[in-house]
Amino acid sequence: MTRVEQLVRWTHTALAAAAGVHVSRSKVSRLCRDYVNLVEPTGVAFPAYLARQVAELSPRQAHVLTALYYRGFDPTGDRAAAVVDAGRTTRTTAERVLASGVAGR
């Protein structure tokens, strides 16, 4: 499988996971070919390139693609982020309880 084919498959998977982002098959193929032939040699990462291109079509979803690309590449970082997110939820819940006055009794 060529580099372009790999990127096309990944892009279709990422776009399917990012609800609300619709890019035609021909545009995905063209973006991947352009990246491999013109952009990759300059050192720009594919997710940054793709997010920038998709941002022109759907600005709110560009960050979703970048997050999907990096998920799983750093399991330790993923776990750390999950712990921090869980801590935020716990603190938010605790703050709500304190604000309601229930904890002060």
Same domain, yes or no: 40 and 55: yes
Q: What is the pTM of this model?
A: 0.58
Cβ atoms of residues 57 and 6 within 8 Å: no
Overall domain count for the chain: 2
Q: How far apart, in whole angstroms, are the C-alpha atoms of residue 26 and residue 47?
A: 18
Same domain, yes or no: 65 and 80: no
- The pLDDT of 65-74, averaged and rounded, is 61
Residue range(s) defining the domain that contains residue 87: 74-105
The lowest-confidence range among 14-18, 44-48, 74-78, 87-91 is: 87-91
Same domain, yes or no: 55 and 18: yes
Same domain, yes or no: 17 and 44: yes
Per-residue pLDDT at 15: 79
Cβ atoms of residues 65 and 47 within 8 Å: yes
Same domain, yes or no: 64 and 87: no
Same domain, yes or no: 62 and 95: no
More confident position, 49 or 17: 49
Q: How far apart, in whole angstroms, are the C-alpha atoms of residue 2 and residue 104?
A: 64
Write out the two tokens for 92: 């938010």
Average pLDDT, the chain: 74
